[in-house]
Amino acid sequence: MHRAAVELFAHTHDPRPHITTRNIRKILDTHLLLGKPLPRSLARRLLDVPRHQTLEEWLDALPGRSSDAERCQRLVEELRRSIEAEPMALPRRRGAKVPASLTFGRTARRSFEVAYWKTIARLAEGRYLNKNNADCVRDPTTQQLLTYRHRDLDALGDYLLSYYGRVIRSAGMAGKALAGDLPFRWRTDFDFSWMGGWLNNQEGTSEERDLVVVIPGRDRKRAVIMADHYDTAYMADRYEAGQGGKGARLAASGADDNHSATVALMLAAPIFLALSKAGKLGCDIWLVHLTGEEFPADCLGARHLCQCLVEGSLKLRLVGGRERDLSGARVQGVYVLDMVAHNNERERDVFQISPGMGRTSMWLAAQAHQANEVWNASAPVWNQAPERRGRGRGRRSPHGGALPEVAEHLVVAGEVRPSYSSRSTLYNTDGQIFSDAGVPVVLFMENYDINRSGYHDTHDTMANIDLDYGSAVAAIAIESVARAATEDPPA
């Protein structure tokens, strides 16, 4: 069937090369990986086709577009056998108007949206300015334009750990849940002394660190990770001459990239702690703030964490300096969040669920798809509440002090994009490091547009944050992690 998908559509001129062949491969591969017929909604979310086109319309059109209609009809029949005949029924609690969920009762609220907005604003517009691992670059142009010469990643990390300490104590989980860091030195084969962060690492005056929160489940030998990166990129329009820059390496505010994800983890913590306290987590959840995803560090924190996982050397440094050995736990999956709050204006209300290689990665993606389906089925019901009814779409606000007005909950399309999909951007994130190391992973990311204003430039501010969209994607990611931590992955 895979060979037929190549041969039957070799002659077509698709908008993107070989898109029909790849679409067919997605259905065949996902069916093989999950070992059962695919829910029709999942099959549709795998397809890279116009949004208005249904799954049935796409299947029906294949023979007429192929080079051999009879042979293609056999392929279509095989595809149909790979897909459930009827739409999947979503589980509902007795008497409930919306499908059952683990976390939407806490996230589909105005209070969650307000906290999401204000916390992103605090990180992007507050005291934390130099948030690139290379920190205060030593060339004259950069030095001249720096407003002050301090490394803010350390202070930001301290703030995050302090926050988690308060949340853990408030949940009554002190001594059970843990918060600490994974310190390490930045090691390279060549000299990069132009970077203050690199140089201080070599001289022993600073260190890099991932931050980890451990929330216990019933099975302490397994863990699901929800991860982000808490460093920010240099602003291309302050560096690149073609964009008006003068060669200065200055760190972006990072409202979307990546405080939109950092805050999702922060707001997930009390939700997961409550599930843990109620005995509802089947395994541990680790919230991991990775450092050094952005250039020039190049996924520094993800590489260190994966090395520790492979070597069995993962030891968490707690506040006060004590260590806790985490190497006995097997990471059964990782959800990486990277840029989740900018709604692409050319193709709105879409985000990507992009799995790495292997069966468990696709299982994680299926959990995320299910969470998305529950959200979308619930949103029209939630929007009938008095505070939401008739409110329409959300609008952006110019700065963090201008909280956007209440809007309707969005119905969003989480497109499942395997790593060979032309629209997957797993390769450009920490997610690729986990996949390369054999750790099952899924990337949660907005409908990525590398050319837009607000990506790695001076406009990565609250003015480019879409609260209705970002809070929906964050809520779906939180539900996905909870589902993955309460259900058993495929053997």
Helices (H), 312-403: 359-382
Contact call for residues 174 and 168 (beta carbons, < 8 A): yes
pLDDT of residue 224: 98
pLDDT of residue 414: 98
CA distance 237 to 313: 41
pLDDT of residue 416: 98
pTM: 0.97
pLDDT of residue 241: 94
DSSP result, 428-480: GSTHHHHHHTT--EEEEEES--TTSTTSSSTT-SGGG--HHHHHHHHHHHHHH
Q: For 195-238, what is the HEC assignment?
A: CHHHHHHHHCCCCEEEEEEEECCCEEEEEEEEEEECCCCECHHH
pLDDT of residue 455: 95
CA distance 191 to 329: 36
pLDDT of residue 150: 86
DSSP result, 7-41: HTTTT---SSTTHHHHHHHHHHHHHHHHTSPBPHH
pLDDT of residue 481: 98
**Residue 264: partners with Cβ closer than 8 Å, 6 or more residues away:** 116, 226, 228, 337, 340, 474, 477, 478
For 105-484, CATH gives 3.40.630.10
pLDDT of residue 107: 98
DSSP state of 192: -
Query: Within the chain, which residues score under 70 in pLDDT?
Result: none
| For the chain, domain boundaries | 2-81, 105-484
